[in-house]
Amino acid sequence: MDLTELFTQQFERAAGKAAVFELEIRLVADKTPELTKFAHEQTLNPILTPFIEHFTAQLSDEDKQMLKTAQVLRNKIVHGDFKAAADKLDQPSGGVTHFKGLPTEGKHLVKFFQGVADGKLAGTPVRQQSAKAVGVFGWLLEGGRNGTFAEAEKAFRSAIAIVDRLSSGCSD
């Protein structure tokens, strides 16, 4: 399995948990009379704010922050803004380096990498660049290497556990 496939699988797990988090918020809202009117909002924010207010007595400050963090992460992961997700999770650099003008032909590619090995060519760490400068692929590699996707998945699992806890007290 190559790194692209490995990191795509990490992304898939994080995005899947993000979708489950949103679905569970919507399910609990739908079966809570005071929140039903919010269950079909187009985005999660108009649901989450009244959701947290409604359950505030059952939520610690940490729980509230986790739900808000999961909402932001959901947006960043699902929409491919991996730099913002890494920033939100305060992830360190994954050591991925971006080289502008990387050649694609074999003989030029060998010469390019020889220049890198000799220290004559240097790239810039992905973490120090804008999302657009590096592109989605560069940030996919960075997000996999620095643990952004794994940490996002953990955050979604924690948020889902909070929602599950609240759900057990709702009528079906």
Is residue 126 a part of any domain in this protein? no
Is residue 121 a part of any domain in this protein? no
Is residue 124 a part of any domain in this protein? no
The tens digit of pLDDT for each residue in 53-105 reads 999 999 999 999 999 999 999 999 999 888 889 888 888 777 666 556 655 55
Is residue 23 a part of any domain in this protein? yes
In this predicted structure, the answer to whether residue 154 has a pLDDT above a threshold of 90 is: yes
Q: Give the total number of structural domains in the chain.
A: 1
Phi and psi torsions of 97, nearest 5°: -110, 135
Closest alpha carbon to 144 in 53, 49, 14: 14
Confidence of residue 141 (pLDDT cuts 50, 70, 90): confident
The predicted pLDDT at position 101 comes to 60
Range of the domain at 162: 3-96+135-167
In this predicted structure, the answer to whether residue 113 has a pLDDT above a threshold of 60 is: no
Is residue 106 a part of any domain in this protein? no
Q: State what percent of residues in the chain have pLDDT above 70.
A: 81
